[in-house]
Amino acid sequence: MDTLNNSAHEISLLDRVRLLSAKYNLSLYRKIQAETNHISRKSFATESSFGLFFDAYCDDLKYDCPIFEGNNLTPDWIVTSNGQTIIAEVYRLNASNEEQEWQFELGKAIQDAQKKYPGLPISSPTRSIQYKPERFHGENGRIVMKAEKYGKFVQKESLPYIICVELDMICGLDLLNVYSSLYGYPMGSLKFNIDEHQILSSKHELREDSLFYKAGEMKDNVSGVLVKYYENFYYYNNYNACNRLNPENQNWLAKFNYVELP
């Protein structure tokens, strides 16, 4: 899991963020260096990982900058790709702050024990994590709140909008849960045209609470949801006609589609 503490992997991530910030003149690296709270640094790590993802496909990248006339909203990422401006907002779906603190303190205790007793096996206590799935797809879920926050502005400017979500390993959700929440049906019930990345047929009725197909900002103004799960990225496209991504951007994002054929 990408964080910004002191392991070799984490230092490598910080170096990559430094280079990314220098490439596009971003404030991200400076903000990370100034932050001391480890939970906030996790949030910065999540934003960084999506910035590094977009870097491979974009012509320009802006971080935490205003773009909409008449307000001070600053999306996490403004991506310029294939002649199109894309708004991308990021959040990390994790356990409660209390659970995160417990996990952080446990990690520190294990590291200290490994230094004190090198080579000895160390067992750690287990703890059940309470998680409410409605935090993701419920009426007051984070993803719906993100959609509503920017929906009317991207609609006014006719801009595509991608919501980026990192699923923490202890959040209690996986890729299939995300699929079901967005499309409203289980995997294996759709057929896809792989070349055109389009749904060809469906054997079932849509669930009323499917986020991409019920009325609202998710259906009308979110072009897709990009998920980071462990170290991989998966894209969930909004197949409604109102999707504002141009064909070139839909094509490269489709390479990351989370698809399981029947």
231, 46, 163, 54: CA torsion to nearest 10 = -70
Sequence length of the chain is 262
Tell me, what's the pLDDT at 130?
Answer: 54
Report the alpha-carbon angle 222-133-153, nearest 5.
Answer: 20
Mean pLDDT of 194-213: 53
**206 or 237, which is more confident:** 237
Handedness of CA 224, 76, 28, 175 (dihedral sign): negative
Give the separation between CA 217 and CA 85, rounded to whole angstroms.
19
Query: Six-digit token pair at 190?
Result: 């759709």
Per-residue pLDDT tens digits for 160-193: 999 999 988 666 678 888 888 888 765 444 444 4
Measured over the CA atoms of residue 187, residue 190, residue 195 and residue 198, the dihedral's sign is negative
